[in-house]
Structure 1
Amino acid sequence: MAQQLINWGVDHIYGMPGDSINELIDDLRKRKEEIEFLQIRHEETGALAAAAYAKLTGKLGVTLSIAGPGAVHLMNGLYDAKADRAPVLAIVGQVQSEEVGTDAFQEINLERMFDDVAVFNRRAETEAQLPDLLDQAIKEAYTNKGVSVLIVPDDLFAKKQTSDVRLTSGEYYKPEIFPRQEHLNEARQLLENAERPIILAGKGTKHASNELIHFAETIKAPIILSLLAKGVIPDNHPYCLGQHGQIGTKPSYNAMKETDLLILVGTQFPYRDFLPEDVKAIQIDNNPGNLGKYYPIELGLAGDSKETLAALSELIPPVEKRNYLEYYQEKMNDWRIALQEEKRQEDNPLHAPQVMYEIEKNMQPGAVISGDVGNVTVWLARFLHLVNQKFIISGWLATMGSGLPGAIAAQKAYPDKQVIGVAGDGGFSMGMHDFVTAVKYDLPIKMVILNNSKIGMIKYEQEQMGHLNYATNLGEMNFAKFAEACGGEGYRIQSYEELGPKMKQAFLSNKPVIIDVVIEDQAPLPGKIDYRSAVNFSKYIVAEFFDTGNLDLPDMKKALKRLR
């Protein structure tokens, strides 16, 4: 089985040894020069890392766990892979074959537990089944861009194959899909009739950045990027209006509301409230089942974004000038200037935008940024400008604790690239034990922690609903000292005067590093504040004043300014 994984191109596995997989672990030990076993400290880290590796590379991410508690720990990472459609294989041990169904020690009904998360979910009952089941599991993961679970009682791993008879072959043939010509012609008509077309591009355009830009230039349409598509085109590109939704920019919000043709490319953007009403839409997706799934489209183009965009660009006469585009380019330039002013402030206490600016100054071309979930997502999306870097995050599941596993996976995928993880103290502390994994395997990741001693996003959500804060304070933690205890390097930054020198020193290190930046709490106000949010936030301000006597004027002033 170990050799079969190698034949499929698997060169590393994330997991933790244990009694129900020890036979396979021993086979991996014998082939450690060909397939590396990365011993993580928690199976959730292994599953999240496998998912991140698959998202970054398109290759199969593989994780391994014991039965019972180890299998349960996998679930969060596997659901992340399912939600973001990443091909992942989980090989899960089970109690001995003769004990299955007897409520043995650490036995749970694994097939039932994995049923919802997996596109392939089977338990081997004989060793003769293993090669064919493994082949099929990997094919299903690639074909359906999802999670395959292969459950194996440990005694089967120990048995040797005596026959070469196989039902399956160990190859995956990726299909090519392209829209029908009549649909392309119909798209041309819609595009030529539009006066204010806008492109909303998702992660399905990651391999098609040049084609996306060329198409936008041809039809003179601005581009809005989903969060998962951040980095597909440079954030400072003249056609880019940034991200959309709660984390997005004001120009993207307003341009979307004024469009007369929405072009969805490689995205399943789920936030209907941020999309226009009663507007014609074209959607490009390589999965026909996704067409019209989240928005009522006029036309669906079933095809890969790279080839489909290229074909449309050839088909459509270039547009010379579009006032709609130029107007929002000007608005976006104003927005960028405002962000730069906020990022370059030199005052204390520190705020997250200042940290993003310092990361930019130390970020190398080709770097991989692994973001966590929470307020940090807003700061990354809005203030960290990527030019030619990769970006990875837990998208649809949006699970806290994904930043560190993503950084570990990124460094394995691109050992010669700079890898930067950015997390809040809440997200990082959910899985920080595996920083020692980075130390053990000499993975020189740089983890930047925005430390406000709070679950900041939840605090803001409570305020936005008009509620007083409850159970959002975490308490103080010195993550720099934790890094040193793990054998890495730690830098604690508590003032603007320390920010530049210490950040630079940390990025010069060739070891795993935690950069613990103490920041002041700051509400991640949306680019465009709607009336209800403004009213509820005002209710919170009033309630906070009468409850504690404190009036959070800075956030309120920003809210009123953006509302205007």
Structure 2
Amino acid sequence: MFENTAGSYVIEGLKEWGVGHIYGMPGDSINEFMEELRKEDAIRYIQVRHEETGALAAAAYSKLTGQIGVCMSIAGPGAVHLQNGLYDAQKDKTPVLAIVGQVSSSTLGTDTFQELKLESMFEDVAVYNRQVHAAEQLPDMLNQAIRTAYAEKGPAVLIVSDDLFAEKIKRDMPFTSSAYSVPKIRAAEEDLQSALELIQSAKKPVILAGKGAREAGAELVAFAEKIKAPIVLSLPAKGIVPDSHPYNLGQLGQLGTKPSEDAMKETDLVILAGTAFPYRSYLPDKAPAIQIDIEPKVIGKYYPATVGIVGELAPTLSWFTERANEKEKDFLTKYAQKREAWHADLQKDMDKETDKLQPQHVLAEVQHIMDGNAVISLDVGSVTIWMAKYLQLSGQSLVVSAWLATMGCALPGAIAAKLAYPGRQVIGLIGDGGFSIGMQDFVTAVKYKLPMTLVVFNNQKIQLIEDEQEQKGNPADNVDLANIDFAAFAKACGGIGYTARNRTELKTALASAKASGKPVVIDAYVEDISAI
């Protein structure tokens, strides 16, 4: 029989689950757990300046790697700050563990300093949400929390009074372990046959693929080539099929392309592959649909599926590819030509020389210095639309707050990307509004020597909201931002800062940033143009 602190068993449990680092900020209701972390070299503690950064970074790490991201906080205000990142994990269906401190168990329930009803607060966001009441529960509840986060693809919250971490417990026979088996879900034969009949009869099929196709890119392309179907990708799926592939029409919706929008209007069969695309107005009025997903609850959720297939995407697409008839190229050829014309127009925009730097110029120059395996951490706002249109991905990884669409996600995403893949280039594309939400954690990148290039699109306004206000017929209001010298800020943090007001300055800054091996902010002053 072994006797040790409950906190030490938590550390061992995290190691068994493959956790290599935790994001957080020290404080009085997690001090005992911090002491356990101090003694452990295998788990790296990443001290952030705001708990929201930690939670968003944990979510981004999980999106990029498929492994659970871990963050922690004190009770009260620290716990409140976690919420945005945990909701991002929930909405983008990715496993995260939050270890949340609570006031001492001897004062719990007395409305003491910084005490909140944490279980109530996390109830809506968490797939697992439990308060630990006895030290002996901790090791097993940790396993339950992590296993549930993986199984239900969302955030698990473990709330622990700090004194429990320091209590010694005896462990002779664990009730649980870190074993987790990933289910292999195969589609029902009758559903596959029904879907095949629709595919065989369709003359203008279109495939709309989402992030569920991340591990099925080759199968997706093979299927599209067999049935001569254009491919449209949701934003989180950008890059799964190279933007240069002749079947790839780009994204759909507000940040999409005209060819993808037109193809959806004309199609006689929509094949939703690993996506629950929510924007009904961009989908056909009446076309039949096949929806393939491993989650039964999303079948028909946003579009009336004619046939729903619950199963893994790669084997399902391979099954169709083997059995589907080769189709005529007329519909595909039409949209391949539209795609070429669209990309030619985009190239003209990028090549056009103007007095002032424009967003498409920035992205054209980023394209030139971007490695084939780079990680692109994208923020939310007009920069999202510009990136979707102008940046061509072909094997790079993209991380973004997709469903929650929270501004300020790119810097945490870049931090997580560099910790996940130290040898890969990391580029953050951020609006000035998004960067200023959480830019204090640039110093975190400096502290931990995490090389990255953050390109701030500085137009001194919340561009996307201005466009939306004006589209509604309202005058733009409260969208202008006071200017910040982001390059000077980067230098003040101990990093490198460059200012770019024209294309020549931008080229020099990007090349220098890539060669520096340090965290860099490029303050790119872009002309005020509409994002929509």
TM normalised by structure 2 equals 0.97
- CA–CA distance in 2 between the matches of 1:340 and 1:333? 10
Corresponding residue to 2:475 among 459, 463, 468: 468
Q: CA deviation at 1:152?
A: 0.2
Partner of 1:378: 385
User: Is the 1:348–1:496 Cα contact (8 Å) retained in structure 2?
Assistant: no
Cα-to-partner distance string for 1:200-245 (whole Å, 9 max, x where unaligned):
0000001111011001001110000001101111111100000000
Q: Deviations over 1:167-204 (max 9, x none)?
A: 22221111110111121111111101001000000000
Q: How far, CA to CA, are the matches of 1:163 and 1:200 in structure 2?
A: 51
Residue 393 (1) aligns with residue 403 (2): no
Task: For 1:130 and 1:192, locate their aligned partners in 2 and report how far apart those are by CA, in whole Å.
Answer: 55
Q: Distance in 2 between matches of 1:7 and 1:169?
A: 9
* Equivalent residue in structure 2 for 1:492, among 491, 495, 499: 499
Task: After TM superposition, give the deviation of residue 502 of structure 1 in Å.
Answer: 2.3
Of the candidates 128, 132, 138, which is equivalent to residue 120 of structure 1? 128
Q: Which moved more, 1:501-510 or 1:371-380?
A: 501-510
Output one character per residue of 1:345-371: Cα deviation in whole Å (capped at 9) or x when no partner.
222211100000000000001000000
| Secondary structure in 1 matching 2:270 | strand
Residues 515-545 of structure 1, C-alpha deviation per residue, up to 9 Å, x if partnerless? 11001111112xxxxxxxxxxxxxxxxxxxx
1:329-348 maps to which residues of 2 (within 5 A)? 329-348=336-355
Partner of 2:37: 28
Q: Which amino acid aligns with 1:475?
A: A
- The amino acid across from 1:324 in the alignment is F
What are the Cα deviations for residues 455-499 of structure 1, in whole angstroms up to 9, with x where unaligned?
111111111111111111111111011000000001100123322
Match of 1:448, as an amino acid?
V
The corresponding residue for 2:224 is: 216
What does 1:36-55 align with in structure 2 at a 5 Å threshold?
A: 36-55=44-63
Aligned to 1:556: none
1:436 corresponds to 2:436 = no
Alignment-mate amino acid for residue 470 of structure 2: E
Mapped partners of 1:65, 1:471: distance in 2: 33
Distance (Å, rounded) in 1 between the aligned partners of 2:201 and 2:103? 64
Deviation readout 1:75-118 (Å, 9 max, x if unpaired):
00000000000100000000000111100100000000000000
1:166 deviation in Å?
2.5
Cα distance in 2, alignment partners of residues 381 and 342 from structure 1: 14
Cα separation, 2, equivalents of 1:496 and 1:412: 31
Give unmatched runs, 5+ long, in structure 2. Answer: 1-9
SS of equivalent residue, structure 1 residue 117: coil
How do 1:479-518 and structure 2 match up within 5 A? 479-518=486-525
Residues 49-100 of structure 1 deviation map (CA, whole Å, 9 limit, x = unaligned): 0000011111000001000000000000000000000100000000000111
Which residue number corresponds to residue 199 of structure 2?
Answer: 191
Counting only pairs closer than 5 Å after superposition, residues 318-357 of structure 1 correspond to structure 2 as 318-319=326-327, 321-357=328-364
Q: Comparing 140-149 with 170-179, which one deviates more in the overlay?
A: 170-179
In the TM superposition, residue 122 of structure 1 has moved relative to its aligned partner by: 0.2
2:151 maps to what in 1? 143
Runs of 4+ in 1 over 3 A off after TM superposition: none
Which of the residues 293, 303, 310 maps onto 2:301?
293
Mapped partners of 2:216, 2:136: distance in 1:
42
CA distance in 1, matches of 2:509, 2:42: 39
1:293 is displaced (CA, Å) by 1.2
Corresponding residue for residue 246 of structure 1: 254
The Cα offsets for residues 105-149 of structure 1, whole Å up to 9 and x where unpaired, read as 000000000000001000000001111110000010000000100
Q: Percent identity?
A: 54
What does residue 74 of structure 2 align with? Answer: 66
Selected match of 2:210 from 202, 212, 215: 202
Query: For 2:103 and 2:451, how far apart are their aligned partners in 1?
Result: 38
How many residue pairs get matched? 523
Mapping for residues 146-161 of structure 1, pairs under 5 Å: 146-161=154-169
Query: What corresponds to 1:277 in structure 2?
Result: 285
SS of residue matched to 2:254: helix
Task: Letter of the 2:192 partner, please give it.
Answer: L
Q: Which amino acid aligns with 2:62?
A: A
Q: Identify the residue that residue 101 of structure 1 maps to in structure 2.
A: 109
Give the counterpart letter for 1:337 in structure 2.
Answer: A
- Return the offset for 1:414: 0.6
Amino acid at match of 1:256: M
Whichever residue aligns with residue 446 of structure 2, its letter is V
- Aligned-residue offset at 1:292: 1.0
**2-structure distance, mates of 1:451, 1:406:** 19
Amino acid at match of 1:214: A
Letter in 2 for 1:122: R
Matched, 1:315 2:323: yes
**For the residues of structure 1 that align with 2:476 and 2:286, how far apart are their CA atoms?**
38
Moved more, 266-275 or 308-317: 308-317
Name the SS for the 1:172 alignment partner.
coil
- Which residue of structure 2 lines up, in the alignment, with residue 551 of structure 1? none
CA distance in 1, matches of 2:463, 2:136: 52
1:409 to 407, 411, 416: 416
Secondary structure of 1:355's partner? Answer: helix
Alignment partner of 1:449 is 2:479: no
Tell whether 2:16 aligns with 1:7: yes
Question: Given the two structures, how large is their TM-score scaled by the length of structure 1?
Answer: 0.92
